[in-house]
Structure 1
């Protein structure tokens, strides 16, 4: 399990086309990729299971904790990204609720764009 950050502080200012915003790049793929949004309510859980493909969890709101194969939980908050390799056991849970994007693809290499946390 690897931790990255995609928060505003890790982004770059974009001014082309008269723009004024900050972009935090996350990843780029050429193979089939699935992207979803998960909404966990209070005391929500994504149960302990094996990743069927490399998976990147991007916390966009709320807070919670994650674990990999060892029985140790790590806190996550908005701007955190957690990467699990194929077949890696993992779990996500929250007491207060959280919303996260999940990206699944055989071709994920988040270290190309994001800094490790």
Structure 2
């Protein structure tokens, strides 16, 4: 499991076409990808399970805890993403609520563009 961060301090500034914003490139896939949105209310959880393909869990709101094969709970919040490798057993829980976009694909490398967060 790897935890990444993305926010106004990372990424690159885009000014083309009169734009002014920060862009964080997150993932690129060579093969088909599945993209889903998850909405966990306070006290909800995603039980321990093995991922079949590489997965990027992008926290878009709220906060919670994740753990992978290390069996250590790590806090994550909006502006962070967690990369799980194919075959990795992992789970998620939240006390106060959490929303996330999850991207799954065989061919993606979640560390390709994002900087890993120190734990």
Distance 1:11 1:21 in 2: 10
- 2:112 alignment partner in structure 1: 112
Q: TM-score with structure 1 length normalisation?
A: 0.96
CA distance in 2, matches of 1:91, 1:23: 29
Q: Report deviation, 1:71.
A: 2.5
Structure 2, unpaired ranges of 5+: none
Structure-1 residue corresponding to 2:88: 88
Structure with the bigger percentage of helix: 1
Provide the residue aligned with 2:79 in structure 1.
Answer: 79
Deviations 1:59-105 (A, max 9, x none): 11100000012321000011111111111000000000000110000
Q: Distance in 2 between matches of 1:71 and 1:112?
A: 25
Q: Distance in 1 between matches of 2:64 and 2:93?
A: 6
Between the aligned partners of 2:111 and 2:28, the Cα distance in structure 1 is 11
Q: Helix, strand or coil: the match of 1:63? A: strand
Matched ranges for 1:1-117 at <5 A: 1-117=1-117
Cα distance in 2, alignment partners of residues 110 and 5 from structure 1: 12
The question of whether the paired residues in 2 share the 8 Å contact of 1:6 and 1:25 is answered with no
SS in 1 for 2:111: helix
Q: By how many angstroms is 1:27 displaced? A: 1.0
1:11-60, Cα deviation, whole Å (9 max, x unpaired): 21101011111111101112100111100001010110000111010111
Gapped runs of 5+ residues in structure 1? Answer: none
Question: How many residue pairs end up in the alignment?
Answer: 117
